[in-house]
Chains A and B, each alone.
Chain A
């Protein structure tokens, strides 16, 4: 029982980068933009955050830098797909290629560097009083670090934003039917830009969690495909932030299950276990496409909006 709680606790930590990236991509897709550049944005955030954290030692500056670096990538994506109406799939891929290049380039001199103790101290585990006394849930969810709590908070806020605020509902209209939104005086481009930038910043924070807290050191290609899993998790969570919680933490568990199985002397090749998250992602994709009613994506997803085509 105890080791199971330890496992769940670790799954939450492994799932946090996925949570940030998934909700980031949800925000982007809500306004009708499929950004396949998540992997690149995460890498940009990871390197930007690590560089700033390493140079300044300040967690706040590190987080801001992570968000801003990823937003540069997000802005390029937004400019191409919203203003220039470029193909979203290919634009996203090029953001991934660019982000991979930038992180490798900037990270070259950072390989093997470690963050100062004062920095990692800020992200040590802190229990939340009262809540951490709840059996099972307490030790799993409420004895985590600040970054994980930030993920909880952002996800909850986004759920409220999209369901109960005027701006959130407008954003959804832009994604569902930009022509109707435009006719109602909603600025389609502005909404798209803001949400793409916000989504990218969240993806960047997901990457920064890896380099600043989870690892915490710089290594080449630190995200190892998590950005792509996040793209699939958006479908898994049916574009709803709260369901992203479940998806991200299940996949966090899959990510670390290999080590746990070794403890129980279950001998499956590590390389085969490593396939598991990717394999399950495929199963999720298939499951969602078979259940058509599950496929609740924005109607205007990946279609460029051009007013004169109304």
Chain B
């Protein structure tokens, strides 16, 4: 029999290697499947890369997907670090977009900088509040936040669809159920051919890094994540810290909603999030609670996702193939965690006849 024992903490670089191996392993596993359905995996992967880097336009598209994915992942990381399983990113994105859209549609005469600022702040607050609801119940009654945040996703989605088909329907759209387009005032400007979301991402990454490493809140979040009892013994008001951190978590997701509505779709639709809230969970987890890793992992995921939509037309491989790869990467990464935490060794052999020594 093999013997499993806990190992002392592994070096950071080795941990990174184990995770990299997990990604490679899942790509190899996926290759097997691609061959089963009759394609050459190398050609498929090359086409995926071509779909992401083949032209300036495609490259910008890949970056455009990296931005919301990474910002949302930063938000989710904040909650996950506390072991608050916020899987409600999707709903927080939608509600943030909802608040931003409210101002974009009703205050379009405001000067551009003011309107954009108003949209951003309202999106952060709305996303934060949407996340705060389950947090309040969690700290007060211990209500399960996983299912709660998830149910709020569906409610937010239905609400946006309701707005889209009902009260907010564009009367000028010939009966087509869509919300009016934003005026130019409500659209985020571009810097270097790419909307300013990328600057927001850079700033958010740095801020979260600083929060985690140099602030009281970051320290408290880390302690609560390790052990709530320890935090309590240390005199922390767990309740307040959890609520503060979850508000920020939802706020970042809400900001994603504003960016997507303003810069990408120029209006609010029910497809504005399109699973970003869920993908961000994977990105946050694979980044191993390190904010600086988020944009990198987010970019890798954007490649995967953009590439998958590209090969859909070229090879008739359904887009859901990307889901499978994502699921497999997660599964392999989780298996990799085992080798980081435990070591397997063969039992030491007893010397012959040593029983009566």
Contact = CB atoms under 8 A, between A and B. Distances in A.
Interface in A57-112: 76, 80, 84-87, 89-91, 93-95, 97-105, 108
Given A80-B331, A87-B334, A108-B318, 17 more contacts: A80-B334, A84-B337, A86-B334, A87-B337, A95-B327, A99-B327, A104-B318, A232-B151, A271-B158, A271-B159, A271-B161, A272-B162, A275-B155, A278-B154, A285-B147, A285-B151, A306-B6
Interface of A: 36, 76, 80, 84-87, 89-91, 93-95, 97-105, 108, 225, 228, 231-232, 235, 269, 271-272, 274-275, 278-279, 281-282, 285-286, 289-290, 295, 306, 308
A228 B90 CA distance: 15
B154 A275 contact: yes
A289 B141 contact: yes
B323 interface: yes
Interface in B1-49: 4-6
Contacts of A90: 281, 285, 330, 334
A89 B76 CA distance: 14
A284 to B, nearest CB: 9
Residue from A90, A225, A269 whose CB has the most chain B CB atoms within 10 Å: A90
A76 B331 contact: yes
Interface residues of B, number: 47
20 contacts: A85-B338, A85-B342, A86-B337, A90-B330, A90-B334, A93-B87, A94-B282, A97-B326, A98-B324, A102-B324, A104-B318, A104-B323, A108-B320, A228-B147, A231-B146, A271-B161, A271-B162, A275-B158, A289-B142, A308-B4
Chain A contact surface mostly: helix
A278 B155 contact: yes
Contacts of B327: 94-95, 97-101
A269 B285 CA distance: 38
Contacts, number: 132
A89 B154 contact: no
B165 interface: yes
B321 interface: yes
A158 B145 CA distance: 28
Contacts of A97: 278, 282, 323, 326-327, 330
A211 B321 CA distance: 21
Contacts of A235: 144, 147
Contact of A228 (B150, B320, B325): B150
A101 B321 contact: yes
B330 A269 contact: no
B282 to A, nearest CB: 7
Contacts of B152: 278, 282
Contacts of B118: none
B268 to A, nearest CB: 15
Contacts of B103: none
B219 interface: no
B129 to A, nearest CB: 15
B265 interface: no
Nearest to B37: A105
A308 B342 CA distance: 12
A104 B147 CA distance: 23
B182 interface: no
Given A93-B87, A228-B150, A275-B155, A290 B324 contact: no
B166 interface: yes
B335 interface: yes
B315 interface: no
Contacts of B137: 285-286, 289
A197 to B, nearest CB: 17
B324 A80 contact: no
A285 B148 contact: yes
Nearest to B318: A108
Interface in B306-323: 318-323
B217 interface: no
Contacts of A271: 158-159, 161-162, 165-166
